[in-house]
Amino acid sequence: MNFGVLGGGIVGLTTALELQSQFRDARVTIVAEKWSTDTTSAVAAGIFRPAASFAGPTEEITQQWIEDAYAHWDGLRRQEGSARVGICNLSGYLFSSISPALVRNPRIEKILPLYRKVTEDELKICPGDWKYGSFFSTLLTEFRTFQPWAEKKFLANGGRFVTRSVRKITELEKDFDLVMNCTGLGSKWMLGDNKLVPVRGQIIKVKAPWVKTAFYGDYDTYIIPGFEGVTLGGTRQFDSYNLNICKYDSTSIRERCQDLLPSLRGAEVIRESVGLRPHRDPVRVEVEFFETSHGKPMRVIHNYGHGASGVTTSPGTAKYAVKLVRDALSGRSHL
């Protein structure tokens, strides 16, 4: 079999590796216009805390994606070592003065090693009138560290990369036996999928090696230590296509994060980044058949629309998508 994976971000990369794992004799090619640091994945902090807006076709499937993803990241960390693959354990606090629901996450509370209500003393760790809080232990995957390891493994397994701009998915009809579409926001134009909405995120990466714990506050405020510094965020601007750094957002992020953790004042900036999260409700992981010029339907498995949870959940949706590949090849998927 000759598989094509369209998209060079975290979803495309994890899907390609899952294909190689399940179809060892197949040829797998990743086709993309943008790679590595040019992708939205490179902006993400990568903490395993799926957004409340992340949803599959059913609650049962959504939960399975999340559980499979956590098991994958944790297994990879144990097998390969944290520094090599960019996956580590991380604990954090969630604080809110608005609602107790904002510090809960039912989908992961039973998966993570620890997820509990904070004590009264812990509510005073960060300045502010905090009324509700949770403490949790989770994982973090730094895409900029994981990506070179994953690409090396993909190549070692016989995979190949092709840099190419694809405007219509049927352009690939003669190149592959089956195509995995992992283009994220690109599917909005390539497929005319108007359920896809960009959610703009801006972050600041700073040097603050003394910060070892993640902190979340109200108004999309977060501080997340990683392999390449500490991520300060953020913004969540619905239906925004602005990829430029906004000085007003930068000021707001710094002020909110420094109010939450005063020791960040004066921390050196490493870089500022903007990404457009590809939000879709529900996340699309399904098979579709396209008419072609030679009459034989083109088989495509879609895997996109993860929003802010791409790095978090990609191994789970990849596993599900590859199952759909088997169904499509065996004839269990129909026109």
The tally of CA atoms less than 13 A away on the side-chain side of residue 55 is 8
Output the CA–CA distances (angstroms, integers) from residue 260 to 214, 218, 231, 256, in the order listed: 11, 10, 14, 6
Q: Which residues are annotated as a binding site for FAD?
A: 40-41, 166, 183
Burial class (CB in 10 A: 0-12, 13-18, 19+), 185: buried
Judge contact between 290 and 300, C-beta under 8 A: yes
Paired tokens of 180: 């995995």
Q: Which residues are annotated as a binding site for D-dopa?
A: 222, 277
DSSP run (H or E) holding 105: none
- Alpha carbon 88 to its chain centroid, in Å, reads 16
> Which residue is listed with tokens 């490493």?
270
Q: Which residues are annotated as a binding site?
A: 40-41, 166, 183, 222, 277
Output the CA–CA distances (angstroms, integers) from residue 253 to 127, 178, 233, 272, in the order listed: 16, 43, 6, 11
Paired tokens of 23: 């179809």
